[in-house]
Amino acid sequence: MKPILAASALLAGFLAGRSLHWPLIHDAPLFHYVAWLMGQGLVPYRDIFDMNLPGVYLLHWAVLATAGGGDLAWRLFDLAWLAATAALLYVFCRPLGGVVGAAGAALLFVLYHLAGGAWHVGQRDFLLCLFLAAGACGVARAWDRGGSRLALLWGGAALGAGLTIKPYAAGIFWLGSAVAGAAAARRAGRAALPGAAAVLGAGCAAPALVFGWLAWRGGLGAFWDTLVGYVIPFYSQLGREPLWAALGWHAHGRVLLALLAALALWGLLVPAAPSFGIRRPLAAVGVGAGALHFVLQGKGWEYHLYPLVFFLCALAAPAGEAVMAAGVPRAREVARAAAIVLFAATAMVLGAKAVEAMDAQWIDAKARRVAAITRDLGPLVPAGGTAQVLDVTAGGIHALFRLQLRQPTRFLYDFHFFHDEGAPRIQGIRAELVRGLEQGRPAAVVVLRDSWLERGYDRLDRFPELRDLLARSYSLAVQGDDYRIYAKRSDS
């Protein structure tokens, strides 16, 4: 087992070094742009229409404020976050699997992240895992230390911070951790309710601070309106995929998940030792929370699997300890060999996945498109001017971030306008966009050929008010590769 761990560590180090050239790409530039807009005085939801929670924006704002918006700064932040998450996973798993099992669990998670490629860097579900790890460590420590109220408080506080990033896995695990906190208190001969209350109460701190800040800035009402008027009735139903089918288009997705599940099952079958404490039941709750996190979002995107993978790695830790146990009966020799083969196979699949993702052509193509839009758009927008982008993740918003250009409306993306088109809410935001363009008079409008759920420029024909505004007031200035830039006519 130790040679396999050493080889895995070398692979992780190699992949981390090779990944230093990865560009800021895909989702991350969108949140960098929101963070930059916040620095310009704009308020999320009121001035920026988006579906994410404010904790995401605040994290990106902190990175911009401290390290800047460069590609390398974001890459180093991601690697530091990965190292911290892996370290907490090791701490959590050490009583489960000893040095070997805990190191194996941490290495599997590190390899999983690095194998995802550049578009996984800093994804929200990955960022969430650090808070899940800290929460799990806090509750486990409370169990080990006679229901320590302080450990329950900081564990709950960490999970509360996770709630401001993504609520599914964090919320479910937070509730499960409250039950574990009550059990820890009872085990120490104390009342159960204060133990649960410590986790639940501390978990409210970060959301209270974040949403208090949002209310102070004047964005809380717009957040609520976006949540109940758009996210729940419309966005939550968009792009839903049969999840087993979705796993099929993840690179090695089904095989990898099956291997991790097999390792976790092996770890569950290892007889519990006193040192396990509550860690294994807590990790099992985490697996359930991670699975629901993937199912409830329903879109089948690969990075939605992060919390599930994180806790599967934790459950696999006892397998490493059993593998290293001396003098096992012959009946367990087969299981011992199987665990080694499973771990080696999982590491090999992750290595193969990483090789495919390391220099993915679609990432390079997107980076070239961002550079091209930036080059073509810059000269068309005078100092103090604005540009509107009709895009999601194809590179238009990224170009605005590079050029430090604002939009005349609060809409980051265009997919909002091309679903449920007869609904009053969608008609309302369509009218808001057209009104904003007419009043804001942007110097240019950038239309990406492909949007989320829609392909082709002809989607504008389904939005005649926007199509006619472009025809009336703009002329095609640039016909790029997968994008068009319309410049405002001097006579309009």
If we measure between CA atoms, which residue out of 131, 154, 128 comes closest to residue 141? 154
pLDDT given at position 321: 65
Q: Residue 335: is its pLDDT beyond 60?
A: yes
Q: Residue 330: is its pLDDT beyond 80?
A: no
For the segment 261-278, the average pLDDT, to the nearest whole number, is 90
pLDDT given at position 329: 58
pLDDT given at position 27: 96
Q: Are both 374 and 317 inside the same structural domain?
A: no
Q: Are both 215 and 78 inside the same structural domain?
A: yes
Q: Residue 309: is its pLDDT beyond 90?
A: yes
Residue where a domain stops, chosen among 358, 391, 409: 358
Q: Residue 395: is its pLDDT beyond 70?
A: yes
- Joined tokens for residue 375: 């080059």
Question: Torsion angle of alpha carbons 88, 90, 94, 95, nearest 10°?
Answer: 40
pLDDT given at position 326: 45
43-66 tens-digit pLDDT? 999 999 999 999 999 999 999 999
CA–CA separation, 456 and 459 (whole Å): 6
Residue where a domain stops, chosen among 358, 381, 397: 358
Q: Are both 44 and 174 inside the same structural domain?
A: yes
Q: Are both 435 and 447 inside the same structural domain?
A: yes
Q: Are both 413 and 269 inside the same structural domain?
A: no
CA–CA separation, 199 and 177 (whole Å): 7
Counting beta carbons within 10 angstroms of the beta carbon of residue 403, is it exposed (0 to 12), middle (13 to 18) or buried (19 or more)? middle
pLDDT given at position 147: 81
If we measure between CA atoms, which residue out of 18, 3, 91 comes closest to residue 343? 3
Q: Are both 80 and 44 inside the same structural domain?
A: yes
Question: If pLDDT is split at 50, 70 and 90, which confidence band does 1 have?
Answer: confident
Q: Are both 101 and 227 inside the same structural domain?
A: yes
For the segment 139-167, the average pLDDT, to the nearest whole number, is 95
Q: Residue 247: is its pLDDT beyond 50?
A: yes
pLDDT given at position 270: 85
If we measure between CA atoms, which residue out of 23, 103, 107 comes closest to residue 71? 23
Distances (CA, A) of 379 to 384, 387, 472: 13, 12, 22
Residue where a domain stops, chosen among 358, 378, 409: 358
Q: Which residue's structure tokens are 């695990």?
A: 173
CA–CA separation, 73 and 22 (whole Å): 11
Q: State the pTM of this model.
A: 0.96
> How much of the chain exceeds pLDDT 90, in percent?
88
pLDDT given at position 38: 98
77-123 tens-digit pLDDT? 999 999 999 999 999 999 998 999 999 999 999 999 999 999 999 99
Q: Are both 22 and 60 inside the same structural domain?
A: yes
Q: Residue 334: is its pLDDT beyond 80?
A: no
Mean pLDDT of the chain: 94
Q: Are both 352 and 421 inside the same structural domain?
A: no
For the segment 5-29, the average pLDDT, to the nearest whole number, is 95
The answer to whether 197 touches 184, Cβ cutoff 8 Å, is no
pLDDT higher at 338 or 420: 420
For the segment 127-153, the average pLDDT, to the nearest whole number, is 95
The answer to whether 445 touches 387, Cβ cutoff 8 Å, is yes
Q: Which residue's structure tokens are 């320590």?
A: 148
pLDDT given at position 324: 53
pLDDT given at position 337: 79
If we measure between CA atoms, which residue out of 297, 427, 411 comes closest to residue 50? 411
For the segment 418-435, the average pLDDT, to the nearest whole number, is 97
- Joined tokens for residue 369: 């498109």
For the segment 369-376, the average pLDDT, to the nearest whole number, is 98
CA–CA separation, 307 and 215 (whole Å): 30
Q: Are both 252 and 381 inside the same structural domain?
A: no
Q: Are both 315 and 440 inside the same structural domain?
A: no
- Joined tokens for residue 96: 């489960």
For the segment 301-315, the average pLDDT, to the nearest whole number, is 97
- Joined tokens for residue 330: 């012959």
Q: Residue 88 belongs to what domain range?
A: 2-358
Question: If pLDDT is split at 50, 70 and 90, which confidence band does 325 have?
Answer: low
107 C-beta neighbours (distance < 10 Å), count: 25
Number of domains making up the chain:
2
Q: Are both 319 and 369 inside the same structural domain?
A: no
- Which of 134-138, 196-200, 336-340 has the lowest average pLDDT? 336-340
The answer to whether 350 touches 372, Cβ cutoff 8 Å, is no
The answer to whether 141 touches 92, Cβ cutoff 8 Å, is no
28-42 tens-digit pLDDT? 999 999 999 999 999
470-490 tens-digit pLDDT? 999 999 999 999 999 999 998
The answer to whether 167 touches 51, Cβ cutoff 8 Å, is no
pLDDT given at position 322: 60
For the segment 66-75, the average pLDDT, to the nearest whole number, is 97
